Amino acid sequence: MTQYSQFIKFYAGKVADHRGRLLQDIWLQDYEWLEKTHDYIQWLFPLMEGSRFNIHAPILTDEDIQIFQDSEDLKSNLFTSLKLMLGFYGLSCAEKEDGKIEIKMNASFYERKKDWLHWGNHNHLRITRILKCLCLLGLEKYAQAFLKCLEKIYHLEKGEITKITFSHWQNAIGG
């Protein structure tokens, strides 16, 4: 029987992160907490390399990625984490009748953008992490839709997102 990693157990809701928070606890936090707390994003959206900002961050293995990609429950939990962060950014996600995913600005965008949509904001790094993680763990079509929405924002909000940041987002999903 497979010995699941701490990350897989965390995403299954079975164990807490390094601060004692279950996945469901993080999902219940308000936007102020999401903005001011900096060590949860690596648990919600881990990568295959360590974090420069959180030494306790999980590091994905090939086995973790395969387990995740094979589990609809784990991918559903990842989608819930994505919806949380999209809401934080003033965005929402919808699946169209043809099965295509659309992420777009919602009614709260103009209020929510005050927290993240300005040059050099740490949330731009978070977005890169989210895009990379979605691709690794089986939600690439959501990453593509997120990038498409970010591209609209990039053109709409001239100068708030640098060309370098936008290219990092494109590279995060191989685009």
pTM: 0.95
Q: What pLDDT does 81 receive?
A: 98
Task: Report pLDDT digits (tens) over 86-132.
Answer: 999 999 999 888 889 999 999 999 999 999 999 889 999 999 999 99
Q: Centre a 10 Å sphere on the Cβ of residue 110 and count the other Cβ atoms it contains.
A: 11
| One-letter amino acid of 69 | Q
Task: Report pLDDT digits (tens) over 52-69.
Answer: 877 889 999 999 999 999
| Residue 157 to residue 48: CA distance in whole angstroms | 32
CA angle, 8 then 12 then 17, to 5°: 65
The pLDDT-based confidence of 166 (bands split at 50, 70, 90) is: very high
CA angle, 77 then 81 then 82, to 5°: 115
Q: What pLDDT does 2 receive?
A: 60
| Residue 94 to residue 9: CA distance in whole angstroms | 28
The pLDDT-based confidence of 152 (bands split at 50, 70, 90) is: very high
The pLDDT-based confidence of 138 (bands split at 50, 70, 90) is: very high
CA angle, 113 then 118 then 123, to 5°: 75
**Mean pLDDT for all residues in the chain:** 94
Torsion sign across C-alpha atoms 61, 43, 85, 49: negative
| Residue 15 to residue 32: CA distance in whole angstroms | 25
CB contact at 8 A, 11 and 23: yes
Q: What pLDDT does 56 receive?
A: 82
| Residue 142 to residue 132: CA distance in whole angstroms | 11
pLDDT (mean) for 40-44: 97
Q: Is the pLDDT of residue 8 over 90?
A: yes
Q: Is the pLDDT of residue 51 over 90?
A: no
